[in-house]
Chain A
Amino acid sequence: NAGVTQTPKFQVLKTGQSMTLQCAQDMNHEYMSWYRQDPGMGLRLIHYSVGAGITDQGEVPNGYNVSRSTTEDFPLRLLSAAPSQTSVYFCASSLTGGSGNTIYFGEGSWLTVV
């Protein structure tokens, strides 16, 4: 099983550029989300989706957009990159919305904004 797949793994952007981080899962999970990981801060939720066509904001949504046109895909768009968005980004998925369900994470995307 591929699980949760993120691309690209590494990316360098210039300030003001836009880009999309791709995320796909092959487990037919309803719930998908994006987190960013910064040193000393753990992971923080950016956006999440409870199913195709439904998205909502997490803890740190500013500067990011998401869409969920299919169950499998949940891309994260950086509209105008800023150095503060230098981080490691993780996509995650879960079968349903039950709080005890296991959340599966992708391998991460390392983004540097210069």
Chain B
Amino acid sequence: AQSVTQLGSHVSVSEGALVLLRCNYSSSVPPYLFWYVQYPNQGLQLLLKYTSAATLVKGINGFEAEFKKSETSFHLTKPSAHMSDAAEYFCAVSEQDYKLSFGAGTTVTVRA
């Protein structure tokens, strides 16, 4: 069985500060891992995905995530937050076909 835990339902950062969103997963097989972003009243947009090619994955909008098997983690980071990064972020795991299991989400607020 697969599951995802996102630590922290809300994160507040200052503009220009580091953004760190934590995601831990459980999976019985090597997983595929994803981060999605959702802007208000919109659908989900893929930020990046891990498919075993490289442990450090770079995505859109300056985000990246590192897969750490020993820690079963896939944390999302961005060195310098921008006001446009305010959104809800979802970590997801897939281990069979294409069915995704999502974390509960983390809402990011960016302070000017």
Residues of chain A having any CB pair with chain B under 8 Å: 4, 31, 33, 35, 40-45, 48, 50, 58, 90, 94, 96-108
- How many pairs of residues, A versus B, come closer than 8 Å at their CB atoms? 64
With known contacts A48-B99, A108-B42, A99–B104 Cβ distance under 8 A: no
* B97, A90: Cβ atoms closer than 8 Å: no
| Interface of B (DSSP majority class) | loop
- A103 smallest CB distance to B (angstroms): 6
Per a CB cutoff under 8 Å, which of B32, B49, B100 touches A45? Answer: B100
| B99 surroundings in chain A (CB, below 8 A) | 33, 45, 48, 58
Residues of chain B having any CB pair with chain A under 8 Å: 4, 9, 32, 34, 36, 41-46, 49, 51-52, 90, 92, 94-100, 102-105
| B4 surroundings in chain A (CB, below 8 A) | 42
| A40 surroundings in chain B (CB, below 8 A) | 9, 104-105
| B51 surroundings in chain A (CB, below 8 A) | 100
| B96 surroundings in chain A (CB, below 8 A) | 99
Interchain residue pairs with CB less than 8 A apart (16): A4-B43, A42-B102, A42-B103, A42-B104, A42-B105, A43-B100, A43-B102, A45-B100, A50-B97, A90-B43, A97-B98, A99-B97, A99-B98, A103-B34, A103-B100, A108-B42
CA distance A44 to B99 in the complex (A): 10
- B25 smallest CB distance to A (angstroms): 13
| A4 surroundings in chain B (CB, below 8 A) | 43
With known contacts A48-B99, A58-B99, A94-B98, A42–B90 Cβ distance under 8 A: yes
- B103 smallest CB distance to A (angstroms): 5
* A90, B98: Cβ atoms closer than 8 Å: no
- A5 smallest CB distance to B (angstroms): 11
With known contacts A41-B104, A99-B94, A99-B96, A107–B42 Cβ distance under 8 A: yes
CA distance A43 to B52 in the complex (A): 24
* B32, A99: Cβ atoms closer than 8 Å: yes
User: Would you list the 10 A-B pairs with minimal beta carbon distance, nearest first?
Assistant: A42-B102, A100-B51, A105-B43, A105-B44, A97-B97, A43-B102, A107-B43, A99-B94, A99-B32, A100-B32
